[in-house]
Amino acid sequence: MKDYLVVANQTLSGEHLLEELRRRVAEGPCRFHVVVPANANPEGWTHTVDQARAIAQERLQKAIAEFSGLGAEVDGQVGDERPLDAMQDALRHWSCDEVILSTLPAGASRWLGMDLVSRASRVLPIPVTHVEATRVP
């Protein structure tokens, strides 16, 4: 059975990510561990850490319900607001074969602006697959 670490926030319900996960399920039995970094509000509004975690938790619960319908085992956690730290924290407690990192489109994505895909590929001991949304949700 293949284990995947799925990392996303605003793009958790995006068709681009669902398509990638469907493809993985079609390849054989798999499990998804979803990590939703508790990021700051993208519009820059004032928020508290608790508010950011609550938004991430809500997205996580929706994603677990939706991804479970694909025919895979699914669990997850809210992670650190820094997405690379969230990935590393998850990998300390959960072994997996690959990271599937979902981002907003170039230009809209803070994660792409911080070169997260390249940084994660250099730091993490497993392959990182990047899936990019075609539009901002």
Residues linked to residue 103 through DSSP beta bridges, in sequence order? 132
User: According to the model, what pLDDT value does residue 4 have?
Assistant: 98
User: According to the model, what pLDDT value does residue 18 have?
Assistant: 97
User: According to the model, what pLDDT value does residue 71 have?
Assistant: 93
Domains and CATH numbers, the chain: 9-13+36-111+118-132 (3.40.50.620)
User: According to the model, what pLDDT value does residue 58 have?
Assistant: 94
Whole-angstrom distance, CA of residue 49 vs CA of residue 40? 8
Whole-angstrom distance, CA of residue 131 vs CA of residue 115? 14
User: According to the model, what pLDDT value does residue 48 have?
Assistant: 74
For 28, the 3-state DSSP assignment is coil
pLDDT averaged over consecutive 10-residue blocks of the chain (137 residues)?
96 95 97 92 63 91 95 96 96 95 93 96 97 88
**Stated pTM of the model:** 0.93
